[in-house]
Amino acid sequence: ETGVTQSPTHLIKTRGQQVTLRCSSQSGHNTVSWYQQALGQGPQFIFQYYREEENGRGNFPPRFSGLQFPNYSSELNVNALELDDSALYLCASSLVWRDVSTDTQYFGPGTRLTVL
């Protein structure tokens, strides 16, 4: 186990709703990255949070947003859910020192989101 935890494990929503997913980073890590993994595909980078700010973003629309808290935990918020948002959402924590990644990213178990 990596020490990265996510909640909830499963979630069912309907189109147009909003969802918040949560992630606690591994002890000693200060950076959280979020990925979306569609069935049968590799994870796709959504964004990264470092020093409580977004530190980079993939090709996802603004209705995907996030937060990082002083304890380095993070939230992923998705507004106006669409059917294609159904996926496994993964967070990964890592350590950034002086703006340079010093370690690989360690993943949590994911949250399975189903949009009906």
Report the DSSP pairing between strands 10-13 and 111-115: parallel
**Sole binder of other proteins in the list 19, 64, 108, 115 (CB under 8 A):** 108
Q: Is 107 in the site for other proteins (CB under 8 A)?
A: yes
Assigned token pair, 116: 């009906």
- Quote the CA–CA distance of 13 and 31 in Å, as a whole number: 28
The residues, ordered by sequence, that sit 6+ positions from 98 with a Cβ below 8 Å of its Cβ are: none
Q: Establish if 93 lies at the interface with other proteins (CB under 8 A).
A: no
Piece of 13-21, 43-51, 63-71, 75-83 that binds other proteins (CB under 8 A): 43-51
Find tokens 């959280």 and name the residue. Answer: 32
Minimum gap (Å) between residue 109 Cβ and other proteins: 5
Residues at the site binding other proteins, with contacts judged by CB under 8 A: 2, 4, 33, 35, 40-45, 48, 50, 55-56, 58, 90, 92, 100-101, 104-110
